[in-house]
Amino acid sequence: MSDLRLTVLAGGVGAARFIAGLVEAAPRAEITVVGNTGDDFLVHGLHVSPDLDTVTYTLSGRADEVRGWGLAGETWATLSRLRELGAETWFQLGDLDLATHLRRTALLQAGWPLSAVTAELCQRLSVPVRLIPMSDQPVTTRVHLEDGRDLHLQEYLVREEATPPIRSVEFQGVGEASPGPGVLEAISGADLVLIAPSNPVISIGPILAVPGVRSAVVAARRVAAVSPIIAGRAIKGPAVAMMLAEGLPASALGVALAYRELIDLMVIDGADSGLAAEISALGPRVHSCPTLMTDQGARRRLATEVLRAAGVTPAAGGRG
Ligand code: GDP
Ligand code: CA
């Protein structure tokens, strides 16, 4: 029996690191992760799910923590041969990573839904949480630029290095999407729903936009968010530019504004404790503590602080 049911809404790296801390902080908890698939795209005919893979690789101890993405021990022979053959290679795919995308694509082509494929990959890689894609239907995050271009999120982030000014962000297909199997149940059945430190616009935004998810989070027992913004900056990625494009201040206050209808608790970095009064005036309780997850110890301490501040106490001891 598990002592605690925790459900995490998750993007990529920040979320994966936070969840790695949570697994240690609450070893007996039943942890369900709802993963963003708005980043998914087809490359060389393969279905790539960057955020699901970041969670999978990190939680199975296979992530390259130094590079900050992809797999440890990765090699790049296939990519260089693809370049020789005239393929576009701005999206880097390592040889080991390609195995994931080959397997995912083959199972999808055999008719498996993405949720079943994800469960299979997680089982094969011994991922210690249940990871569910936000939807089995395709949802594609598109970025509309000030210069009139309309790009897939990956073209914007990787090919354009997230530099052109953004007008707006769109989650194409989300209106027709339904939540992945078990997503709504995991949210409504959780003792605590956690919004991971991920980009609120492009990582958490698509999950909340899947019909039914936002209202399930509003109705959830307890909801806590961890700010991905520390002292007005993202640790990585274009969260600041995207928040500004959405009319949000680029700070922990902006994160709280994005989630104001959802959260009971906002966890911000100690560097932002000066924003606590303004944030709590929006409604949620505020807890400030170190939120920079420099190593596994820092991840576990952050997760422990968040659980404690949210008023849930995990049992100690082995998983079971
Ligand atoms: P992806 O990793 O590029 O797929 O994008 P995400 O939105 O999932 O993750 C990037 C976000 O995670 C950025 O907004 C970062 O500020 C945040 N992040 C990454 N590492 C940390 C960390 O150690 N602490 C906190 N608080 N946020 C982090
Ligand atoms: Ca991502």
The neighbouring-strand residues paired with 172 are 140
Rounded to an integer, the average pLDDT of 285-294 is: 97
* 277: its two tokens: 């009064």
pLDDT band at 317 (very low <50, low <70, confident <90, very high): low
Residue 183 belongs to some domain of the structure = yes
pLDDT tens digits, one per residue of 225-237: 999 999 999 998 8
Indicate whether 319 pLDDT > 50: no
- Whether residues 269 and 231 fall in one domain: yes
Domain of residue 255 covers 5-62+115-137+179-316
What lies within 8 Å, CB to CB, of 22 at 6+ separation is 6, 8, 29, 31, 194, 303, 307
Q: CB within 6 Å of ligand 1 — which residues? A: 11-15, 17, 51, 54, 197-199, 203, 226-228, 230, 234-237, 239, 291-293
- Whether residues 28 and 127 fall in one domain: yes
Task: Decide: 61 and 17 in contact? Cβ < 8 Å.
Answer: no
- Torsion sign across C-alpha atoms 53, 58, 62, 63: positive
Question: Which ligand is located closest to the Cα atom of residue 242?
Answer: 1
Distance 281 CA to ligand 2 centre (A): 31
What lies within 8 Å, CB to CB, of 277 at 6+ separation is none
- Whether residues 144 and 289 fall in one domain: no
Q: How many Å apart are CA 175 and CA 139, to the nearest integer?
A: 9
Neighbour-count burial of 297, counting CB atoms closer than 10 A to its CB (0-12 exposed, 13-18 middle, 19+ buried): exposed
Residue 39 belongs to some domain of the structure = yes
- Residue 119 sits in a domain whose CATH number is 3.40.50.10680
Distance 6 CA to ligand 1 centre (A): 20
Task: Decide: 55 and 161 in contact? Cβ < 8 Å.
Answer: no
> Which of 198, 226, 242, 259, when mutated, tests ligand 1's pocket best, judged by the most ligand atoms within 8 Å of its CB?
198
* 264: its two tokens: 């009971």
For residue 36, give the ligand 1 atom closest to its CA: 8
Distance 290 CA to ligand 1 centre (A): 14
Residue 84 belongs to some domain of the structure = no
- Whether residues 187 and 38 fall in one domain: yes
Give the C-alpha distances (Å, rounded to integers) separating 236 from 13, 191, 230, 274: 9, 30, 11, 23
Residue nearest to atom 27 of ligand 1 (CA): 228
pLDDT band at 320 (very low <50, low <70, confident <90, very high): very low
pLDDT value for 316 = 77
Rounded to an integer, the average pLDDT of 19-32 is: 97
**How many residues are listed for the chain in this entry?**
320
> Which of 8, 53, 233, 236, when mutated, tests ligand 1's pocket best, judged by the most ligand atoms within 8 Å of its CB?
236
- Whether residues 155 and 130 fall in one domain: no
> Which of 39, 67, 158, 203, when mutated, tests ligand 1's pocket best, judged by the most ligand atoms within 8 Å of its CB?
203
Distance 200 CA to ligand 1 centre (A): 10
Structural domains in the chain (count): 2
Among 67-71, 120-124, 131-135, 273-277, the minimum mean pLDDT is found in 67-71
Among 53-62, 102-111, 160-169, the minimum mean pLDDT is found in 160-169
- Whether residues 57 and 206 fall in one domain: yes
- Whether residues 19 and 160 fall in one domain: no
How many contiguous H segments (helices) and E segments (strands) does the chain have?
13, 14
* 132: its two tokens: 């569910």
pLDDT value for 83 = 97
- Whether residues 125 and 215 fall in one domain: yes
Residue 70 belongs to some domain of the structure = no
Amino acid in the structure at residue 51: D
The DSSP bridge pattern shows strands 150-152 and 140-145 to be antiparallel
- Whether residues 252 and 286 fall in one domain: yes
- Whether residues 152 and 242 fall in one domain: no
pLDDT band at 2 (very low <50, low <70, confident <90, very high): low
Q: How many Å apart are CA 210 and CA 180, to the nearest integer?
A: 9
Task: Decide: 41 and 140 in contact? Cβ < 8 Å.
Answer: yes
